[in-house]
Chain A
Amino acid sequence: MTIDANHVAEEPASVSVGFPVTVGWTHAAIAVYSVLRLNTPVNLTMLIEMHGPLLIDFRHHAFSWSTPLELFPVDAVHTNLETEPVGPDDPPYIELPGQDLDGLLWEMGLNSFGGAAAYWLPPNERYKLTRWPNITRHAHNLGQMKMMAALANTYASTTELAALAGVEESEAQRLINALSLMRIIWRSADAPAAPVVKETAAAKRQSLFARLRKRLGR
């Protein structure tokens, strides 16, 4: 496989060409989202300066990368991205089981688009979880946990979600981007507005969650 961005076109089996050198994860997220939408099995290789090749086997929902996700490089410099079609009898692209792709999608979604909406998300939509992400395996904060609890129980726009969880709207948008990339949210342009829950000081005092998280060191 060619790994030089200037020579990608020499590989006839490759699908994507001309990937520009980029900083951050926005272009990578768009590429991954496009591949996931294809519903055609492909392998994907990203070359990232100082962090080695990142190999994704979509057929097995797994990836291989020498950089641990705990050290996810937010400002990674991508020098190439390449996809290859996969036949039904082709061997796995990586040594299985590999790492669960959801962990990478989570980090990629949170750290792309700079807190703005992912390009594939139209404005004026509301969102609801189809299932919870496996948060015992993904680094997360309590604001994200609270937002997911809201999304598990109601449709909400990013503005409504931010209000429900008491976080910045950009944080809500980052979470929606990640959940969307992981394909675990419903989207609706017709869902009614989420209820406005006023988080008064008294309500905060009554919250077992607030007291317990403090007690448990979170």
Chain B
Amino acid sequence: MAEHVILFAGPMGAGKSTAIQSLSDIDVVRTEANNSERHIVDKATTTVALDYGEILIDGEEKVRLYGIPGQKRFDFMWGILKTRARGMVLLVNNDAPDPVAEMLYFIDEFRDLYDRGGVVVGISRSDLVDGPTLADFSDALERTNPDLVIPVFTVDPRERDQMVDVLLTLVVNIEMREALGATMAAAL
């Protein structure tokens, strides 16, 4: 069975578990524990190992959706998955103290995926605060790699339609980039 791994990364409270639940065919497997950092993000529990969901295509192909813990002390989990991943949805909550810096931290951690165009950024909770604009996020990304135009959207992880848009954009962007790259390489 063909498999594709898509990661959902981002700081605690950005909505990774909810986003996977919105897309998954199965009940999401969660590994949550009490949140000991409620002074940072006011939620009762947080992911400590992995969240897992999946989308089955025609019974013969599986898209595996892995949510990786947002707290940096669990970052040993990241390396295990990022080598297998085809792409990553990076969720950032706009009511974080410095959401642009949070985004750039994760971009740096997943630099290989990012540099091959395999990232979509979703900005959650943007309706709650007067935080940075999408242009602010895009400008910050452009400074890290001027040749890349990474999709940056506002998202509500609870809304399946929006998460489908995000996932399809990630996949079509990866495939278009691969096709254009292959054509250019063949022409050389």
**A residues at B contact (CB < 8 Å):** 128-132, 134-137, 142, 145-146, 149-150, 152-154, 164, 194-197, 203, 207-209, 211-213, 215-216, 218
8 Å CB contact of B57 from A135, A145, A149, A211: A211
**B residues at A contact (CB < 8 Å):** 4, 55-58, 61, 63, 117, 122, 134-135, 138, 149-155, 162, 164-169, 171-173, 175-177, 179-180, 183-184, 187
Kindly provide the distance from the CB of A207 to the nearest chain B CB, expressed in whole angstroms.
Answer: 6
Kindly provide the distance from the CB of A179 to the nearest chain B CB, expressed in whole angstroms.
Answer: 12
Residues of A within 8 A of B151 (CB): 132, 135, 152
Residues of A within 8 A of B165 (CB): 135-136, 145
8 Å CB contact of A196 from B122, B155, B183: B183
Residues of B within 8 A of A145 (CB): 165, 168-169, 172
* Pairwise interchain contact B55-A212, C-beta atoms closer than 8 A: yes
* Selected A-B contacts with CB under 8 Å, 19 pairs: A131-B149, A132-B151, A132-B169, A134-B154, A135-B169, A142-B168, A142-B172, A146-B176, A149-B176, A149-B177, A152-B151, A153-B117, A208-B175, A211-B61, A212-B171, A213-B168, A215-B56, A216-B164, A216-B168
* Pairwise interchain contact B180-A215, C-beta atoms closer than 8 A: no
Q: A132-B153, A135-B165, A212-B167 are in contact. Are A195 and B57 (CB under 8 A)?
A: no
Residues of A within 8 A of B63 (CB): 208, 212
